Amino acid sequence: QVQLVESGGGLVQAGGSLRLSCAASGRTFSTYGMGWFRQAPGKEREFVAAISRSGGITYYADSVKGRFTISRDNAKNTVYLQMNSLKPEETAVYYCAASKGSRWRMADEYDWWGQGTTVTVSS
C-alpha cells in the first residue's frame, strides 16, 4: 500500500509558476513509476507528466512540454512538478499517482492516487 500526499497548489497569475510536491509513504518508492495528472471542472482527467523509477526517463503531455518539469528524489520519497508559464486553462486539481507498470501516460496503469491539490490560474 502506498499513500500519496500532494502539496504546493494555490492561486497564481497567468504566466506565473508553482512547484507541486507529492510525498509517498513506504520503503518501495523507487520501484514505482510516478505520474502527474490533472482534472479541470467538467473535464476528464488528463496526463501531464511521468517519470521512471530511477528518474532517468521523463514523459510530458505536448501541452506542457518546455514549461513543466517532473523530477523525483528517491531518498525523500518525493516527486515534484515544476510548472512555469501557467495558463488560465490549466486551472485544475492536480493528482500524483504511483504505478507498478510501464504505460505511464495511461491513468489506468496507476495503482495508487493522491487526493489532489488545486491549482488556480487567474487571467
User: What pLDDT is recorded for position 82?
Assistant: 98
User: What pLDDT is recorded for position 1?
Assistant: 83
Give tens-digit pLDDT for 5-51: 999 999 999 999 999 999 999 889 999 999 999 999 999 999 999 99
Residues 63 and 7: their CA atoms lie apart, in Å, by 22
Q: Nearest CA to 82 among 116, 48, 122?
A: 48
User: What pLDDT is recorded for position 11?
Assistant: 98
Confidence of residue 99 (pLDDT cuts 50, 70, 90): very high
User: What pLDDT is recorded for position 50?
Assistant: 98
Q: Read out DSSP for 15-49?
A: T--EEEEEEE-SS-GGGSEEEEEEE-TTS--EEEE
Chain mean pLDDT for the chain: 96
User: What pLDDT is recorded for position 27?
Assistant: 80
